[in-house]
Amino acid sequence: MWEAPETIGRYRIIREIGAGGMGVVFLAEDQVLQRQVALKVLRPQPGLTPEKQAALAERFLRECRVAGRLTHPNIAKVYDAGEDNGCLFLTMELVHGDSLRDRIDLLGPMGPPQAVDIARQIATALSYAHSRGVVHRDIKPDNISVSPTDRVKVMDFGVARLATDITVSSPGTVIGSPSYMSPEQIQGGDVDGRTDVFTLGTVLYEMLTGRRLFQGSSVPEVAYKIVHTEPDLGGSFPPRLRALLRRALAKDPRERFATAEQMLTALRDPLLLRWDLAAGDRREDDSALGVPVAAPGRSRVLMIGLVGGYAAAIAGTLIFAGPAAVSLAAGGAAVALTARLAGGARSSALAGWGALCAAVLAAAHTWLDW
């Protein structure tokens, strides 16, 4: 059992906050700047040759330097990193709030608006980090902190890469569970921002249902499911949200959102949380692609009503009025239908109203001799 010293570098340890796969996180005081920080100390790796220890330290400091350049309101800032008496450590902004893991475990599933709001903030952080060449690689509820007012901070940017180093350096060490890994991570393939897109999909699903998407009684079983089994997205979600999840969770990275930015666009779709879209509506998929869609895809009944209304208006105008009113109404109806087919709900409604007004005016003209 490893005993933490009283101080590490210029940091005085106050108490332990928690422990994870790679090390222990402490509440500590920066004695120079006299402020509290979160101090993460990597567990010593027994049995490492001095060369391997030096290589690990070098890699660790390099990752910390990269992560330290990230400054974003939704990312826990890395302040400092170093080595003291063989202990590798880094200090971070002390984040106040529950981890998303505790939130889900204590309060169960969230409503779609709250889950999507949290996912948007995570996607914003990812999009920023990816644009600076940093992939998180370990997005999971434990690495997301949520304040009482639902402000999100993503923790451990870049540091997750070290987990692989430690596993490789110390054979037999199992770090964490594969539950939140992407298929390509499990298969040891190249990893890019689309891995974070996949894992954000699993986290969003868990927020919505309170359940882990990939579960199993053993690590190989979970890993097999992630790579080969199409997940059952049980639960009731608005149709576009379901399409978004499907897209983020595609096994093949090429079928996912190409970037976190694209996923963010889909998360911002104003129709994402609408329940009244037909499940088979093709535009559902367009929305998940991040393509702006103007039409709300109202029910078929409304469409039939509109077409019937235009037809009645034209027929009424033909019977009761002269050619000018007929062309006005027919033109309006044509514009309305074209706009409706192209997806412009607002222009469709306006043109429809125009056609109806022309018909009413024509009828009034005939009947009242006006």
Ligand X SMILES: Nc1ncnc2c1ncn2[C@@H]1O[C@H](COP(=O)(O)OP(=O)(O)OP(=O)(O)O)[C@@H](O)[C@H]1O
**7 has which bridge partners?**
12
In degrees and rounded to multiples of 5, residue 317 shows phi and psi of -65, -40
Task: Write the binding mask 84 to 123 for ligand X: x where contact by CB under 6 A, - elsewhere.
Answer: --------xxxx---x------------------------
Shortest distance (Å) from residue 139 CB to ligand X: 10
**Structure tokens, 201:** 């999909």
Quote the CA–CA distance of 102 and 62 in Å, as a whole number: 31
- Residue 185 touching ligand X (CB under 6 A): no
Among 18, 111, 133, 270, binds ligand X (CB under 6 A): 18
Task: Write the binding mask 116 to 155 for Mg ion: x where contact by CB under 5 A, - elsewhere.
Answer: ---------------------------x------------
- Residue 91 touching Mg ion (CB under 5 A): no
AA letter at 41: V
Binding segment for ligand X (CB under 6 A), chosen from 12-20, 204-212, 256-264, 360-368, is: 12-20
- Residue 20 touching ligand X (CB under 6 A): yes
Among 8, 66, 76, 272, binds ligand X (CB under 6 A): 76
Quote the CA–CA distance of 110 and 209 in Å, as a whole number: 7
Among 74, 127, 143, 199, binds ligand X (CB under 6 A): 143
Angle at which helix 345-368 crosses helix 323-342, to 10 degrees, equals 160
**Which is nearer to ligand X, 164 or 347 (by Cβ)?**
164
Shortest distance (Å) from residue 80 CB to ligand X: 13
* Active-site residue flag, 196: no
Quote the CA–CA distance of 163 and 191 in Å, as a whole number: 14
Residues 148-187 that bind Mg ion (CB under 5 A): 156
Quote the CA–CA distance of 197 and 45 in Å, as a whole number: 31
**Could you tell me where the DSSP H helices lie in the chain?**
50-68, 100-107, 112-131, 161-169, 183-186, 193-209, 219-228, 239-248, 260-267, 283-288, 300-320, 323-342, 345-368
Catalytic residue among 98, 117, 138, 285: 138
Question: Based on C-alpha coordinates, what's the Rg of the chain?
Answer: 28
- Residue 75 touching ligand X (CB under 6 A): no
Residues at the site binding ligand X, with contacts judged by CB under 6 A: 17-23, 25, 38, 40, 76, 92-95, 99, 138, 142-143, 155-156, 176
Residues annotated as part of the active site: 138
